């Protein structure tokens, strides 16, 4: 059986000195902080119809990079749970289950999957080079756009879903992917240097 040795992510370094109940508390704190980051980025809004452009997906990709697969997915799920419970964390300070089944519902549902996917790639070292970092982030972004398109197509039809929910965001999302991809090798080098100095 082949066992893949996973690379640590930034969150692992933050939690390295914690154990037991203290570690669980810090894990919960990271998840909460990450969900608040997504909520804050949701309010950076560029009005479009039928789906507004926000920095949410940028935050989700970053969470995957920094937190890894499981922790990243848990953070995105916590964000969705906060919104479903009535906290004003969605775009335009929206909240409630109605938002989750509205035009943005597919994008929101994709967040945990995308964070998990990006985190899984980072844990396998895809953040060491710019080219593989871009590939990992593109997978995450395609997950978000695909699920967003699929649900929007159910509500408004495929043509409207493409012209209103995918096409306007392609350039914007490409810029976000490039930005995060430029950060990833730098973060990995710093993490490696930190690990070497500790060792």
pLDDT grade for 154, boundaries at 50, 70 and 90: very high
Where in the chain are the domains? Answer: 24-188
What pLDDT score does 3 carry?
Answer: 46
% of the chain residues with pLDDT over 70: 89
Q: What is the DSSP letter of 5?
A: P
- The per-residue pLDDT for range 15-59, each reduced to its tens digit, is 877 777 788 889 999 999 999 999 999 999 877 666 667 899 999
pLDDT at residue number 191: 67
pLDDT tier at 127 (50, 70, 90 boundaries)?
Answer: confident
> For the residues 95-115, what does the mean pLDDT come to?
96
Query: What's the confidence (pLDDT) of residue 193?
Result: 64
- CA–CA distances in Å: residue 89 to residues 8, 55, 123, 179: 30, 13, 28, 24
What are the pLDDT digits (tens) for 60-102?
Answer: 999 999 999 999 999 999 999 999 999 999 998 999 999 999 9
189 — pLDDT class (breaks 50, 70, 90): confident
Residue 133 has pLDDT above 70, yes or no: yes
Task: Give the predicted TM-score (pTM) of the model.
Answer: 0.88
* Architecture per CATH, 24-188: Orthogonal Bundle (1.10)
Q: What is the mean pLDDT of the chain?
A: 88
Q: Which residue has the tokens 């479009």?
A: 48
Name residues whose C-beta falls within 8 Å of residue 108's C-beta, 6 or more positions apart in sequence: 80, 83, 90, 99, 100
């Amino acid at each position: 059986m082949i066992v893949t040795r996973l690379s640590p992510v930034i969150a692992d370094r933050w939690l390295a000195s914690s154990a037991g109940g203290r570690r669980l508390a810090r894990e919960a704190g990271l998840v909460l902080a990450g969900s608040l980051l997504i909520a804050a980025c949701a309010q950076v809004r560029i009005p479009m119809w039928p789906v507004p452009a926000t920095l949410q997906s940028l935050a989700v990709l970053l969470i995957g990079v920094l937190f890894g697969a499981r922790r990243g997915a848990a953070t995105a799920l916590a964000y969705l749970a906060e919104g479903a419970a009535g906290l004003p964390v969605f775009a335009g300070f929206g909240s409630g289950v109605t938002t989750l089944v509205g035009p943005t519902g597919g994008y929101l549902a994709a967040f945990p999957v995308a964070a998990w996917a990006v985190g899984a790639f980072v844990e396998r070292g895809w953040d060491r080079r710019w080219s593989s970092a871009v590939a990992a982030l593109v997978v995450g972004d395609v997950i978000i756009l695909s699920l967003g398109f699929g649900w929007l197509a159910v509500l408004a039809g495929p043509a409207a879903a493409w012209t209103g929910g995918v096409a306007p965001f392609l350039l914007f999302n490409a810029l976000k992917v490039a930005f995060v991809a430029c950060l990833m090798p730098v973060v990995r080098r710093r993490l490696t240097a930190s690990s070497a100095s500790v060792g």
